[in-house]
Amino acid sequence: MSDSPRTSGKEPDRFTQKVLKALALVLGAVLLLLLIGKAFEVLLLVFAGVLMAVFFRGTASALSTRTGLSGGWSLTLVVVAVIVLITATVWLLAPQVSEQAAALSEELPKAVGHFRDRVEDYRWGRKLVDEAPTMESLLERQGSWVKQSLGVLSTTFGILANLYVVLFLGLFITAQPGLYKKGIVLLFPMSKRQRASEVLNTLGVTLYKWLLGKLFSMLVVGVFTTVGLSLLNIPVAMALGLLAGLLSFVPNFGPLFALIPAVLIALLEGPDQALYVVLLYTGIQAVESNILTPLVQKKMIEIPPALIIVAQLLLGVFSGVLGLILATPIIAVVMVLVKMLYVHDTLGDKEVEAG
């Protein structure tokens, strides 16, 4: 009889402890999610810096393997070569690009006005023009989707600040990648550290292959677009080609954003020219999607197109333009983690390639 009160007195204490532990875990998870949500854009900037470091380190490693140079000298040569290449490109093309960019800024308002005048000849066009909100009204709305999508990139200061952060993060990680990799590996238990190192190495190789393929694709799209528009005698062909090449970094939405100004400019030359421009861009995207992408993906991770669109929509909602730009490499990272940590380690299926 004397033992029953003590047992009954301990049971509520144990139950209370379990409830408090569960509550603490839930609150901790909620706080972590809130912290990630608030700092999500910062994490994306860090990821962009990692991509930059992966490119420099991966290229330096390839150069070292082929030439026998040390890692330090290879990295120095790669960085210097990239700086020289960018400087030479800017010096050679900057006058023409800046002139055409200025002309593009003058031609676009004319093209938009010309487009409005043409569509207002039709009933559906007048209805579209009347119901379409102006850019000023969109920007004046507090909390509008435009402001949310632009984020800190909505101002020139924001753009420069982001580039500054990405540049210096990339340089710091490039200079001492082992230091940061070791710090991440140390967060895992001793028995898991070798596997964590393997996963990080695979992620680095996957991102490097993806970057090389994407840069090659951007170059082809930019050159083909510039040449095609020049043959069609479309004004500011170089500026439009450069825009198309840069925006092709963003799958699905990038080519569409590049097509709009090109079509508007072509409408000034006539509807036939606008049709030819649409056919040109469609043909280039067909070549890029059906020839270049499969050719590149033989040596890199294959990402389902539907998964890319879903990731772009989700990250675009949470972090705007930056999330839209980085959605594809983030999905590549997630796929490698799922394959290595779940398919390989948990399910035991080693036949699935990680990257």
pLDDT of 160-217, one tens digit each? 777 888 888 888 888 888 889 999 999 889 989 999 999 999 999 999 988 988 888 8
Q: Which residue has the higher pLDDT, 335 or 162?
A: 335
Task: Please tell me the predicted confidence (pLDDT) of residue 166.
Answer: 85
Contact call for residues 255 and 244 (beta carbons, < 8 A) = yes
Which residue, among 42, 45, 50, 43, has the nearest Cα to 206 in the 3D structure? 50
| Mean pLDDT, the chain, whole residue set | 78
Tokens in use for 110? 């004319």
Task: Please tell me the predicted confidence (pLDDT) of residue 283.
Answer: 93
pLDDT > 60? residue 6: no
Query: Quick one: pLDDT band at residue 153, thresholds 50, 70, 90?
Result: very low
State how far the Cα of 179 lies from the Cα of 52, in Å rounded to an integer.
Answer: 17
Query: Quick one: pLDDT band at residue 119, thresholds 50, 70, 90?
Result: low
Q: How many CB atoms lie within 10 A of CB 102?
A: 12
Task: Name residue, tokens 């150069």.
Answer: 63
Is the backbone of residue 134 left (phi > 0), alpha (psi -120 to 50) or beta?
Answer: beta
Task: Please tell me the predicted confidence (pLDDT) of residue 150.
Answer: 42
State how far the Cα of 346 lies from the Cα of 333, in Å rounded to an integer.
Answer: 18
Task: Please tell me the predicted confidence (pLDDT) of residue 144.
Answer: 44
* Per-residue 3-state assignment (H helix, E strand, C coil) for the chain: CCHHHHHHHHHHHHHHHHHHHHHHHHHHHHHHHHHHHHCHHHHHHHHHHHHHHHHHHHHHHHHHHHHCCCHHHHHHHHHHHHHHHHHHHHHHHHHHHHHHHHHHHHHHHHHHHHHHHHHCCCHHHHHHHHHCCCHHHHHHCCCCHHHHHHHHHHCHHHHHHHHHHHHHHHHHHHHCHHHHHHHHHCCCCHHHHHHHHHHHHHHHHHHHHHHHHHHHHHHHHHHHHHHHHHHCCCCCHHHHHHHHHHHCCCCCHHHHHHHHHHHHHHHCCCHHHHHHHHHHHHHHHHHHHHHHHHHHHCCCCCCCHHHHHHHHHHHHHHHCHHHHHHHHHHHHHHHHHHHHHHHHCCCCCCCCCCC
Rounded to two decimals, what is the model's pTM? 0.73
Contact call for residues 238 and 96 (beta carbons, < 8 A) = yes
Contact call for residues 240 and 269 (beta carbons, < 8 A) = no
Q: Which residue has the higher pLDDT, 328 or 301?
A: 328
Contact call for residues 220 and 288 (beta carbons, < 8 A) = yes
The tens digit of pLDDT for each residue in 228-255 reads 999 999 888 888 898 899 989 888 888 8
The one-letter code for the residue type at 179 is L
Q: What is the mean pLDDT of residues 144-171?
A: 62
CA distances from 80 to 73, 84, 88, 176, 291 (A): 10, 6, 12, 17, 32
The tens digit of pLDDT for each residue in 286-303 reads 888 777 777 666 556 677
Q: What is the mean pLDDT of residues 126-151?
A: 47
Which residue, among 272, 330, 265, 268, has the nearest Cα to 301 in the 3D structure? 330
The tens digit of pLDDT for each residue in 42-98 reads 888 889 999 999 999 999 988 888 888 888 888 889 888 888 888 887 777 666 666
Contact call for residues 74 and 64 (beta carbons, < 8 A) = yes
12-26, 117-131, 277-291: which has the highest mean pLDDT? 277-291
Q: Which residues touch 290 (CB under 8 Å, ≥6 apart)?
A: none
9-18, 213-222, 237-246: which range is least confident on average?
A: 9-18
Query: Quick one: pLDDT band at residue 317, thresholds 50, 70, 90?
Result: confident
